[in-house]
Amino acid sequence: MIGNERHGLVGVIFSDILRNGKIPMILLVSTLISAMAVVTVSHKTRLLTAQREQLVLEKDALDIEWRNLILEENALGDHSRVERIATEKLQMQHVDPSQETIVVQQ
């Protein structure tokens, strides 16, 4: 009595896929894996792009600060150069306001 055998639907589908559908099943699994890889890589790329933009903004801010520091250094360097020339070549010296005396010329 072959007609009275009962097989579960899941078992029949699984055995049919193993016998006749190996290539389509491999293609389906490959497609799913590929799709997940694309989603993962896209997500990581977006995160890295956002991080890069943040780093570019920080670099620009640091570059502006660096330029300001260079300008400040140059400005302070000019004052110290003038002071050095005044003391070395013109024999000028700092005056203490508390000991200042008034010299009247006639």
The model carries a pTM of: 0.51
Reported as a single tens digit per residue, the pLDDT across 25-75 is: 899 999 999 999 999 999 999 999 999 999 999 999 999 999 999 998 887
Q: Is residue 90 in some structural domain?
A: yes
How is residue 99 annotated by DSSP?
A: G
Number of structural domains, the chain?
1
The answer for residues whose C-beta is within 8 angstroms of residue 17's C-beta and 6 or more apart is 25
Burial of 42 (0-12, 13-18, 19+ CB in 10 A): exposed
Which residues form the domain of 90?
9-95
The C-alpha atoms of residue 50 and residue 52 are separated, in whole angstroms, by 5
Q: How many CA atoms lie within 13 A of 58 on its CB side?
A: 6
Q: Is residue 37 in some structural domain?
A: yes
Q: Is residue 105 in some structural domain?
A: no
Reported as a single tens digit per residue, the pLDDT across 10-23 is: 888 888 888 888 88
The C-alpha atoms of residue 13 and residue 28 are separated, in whole angstroms, by 16
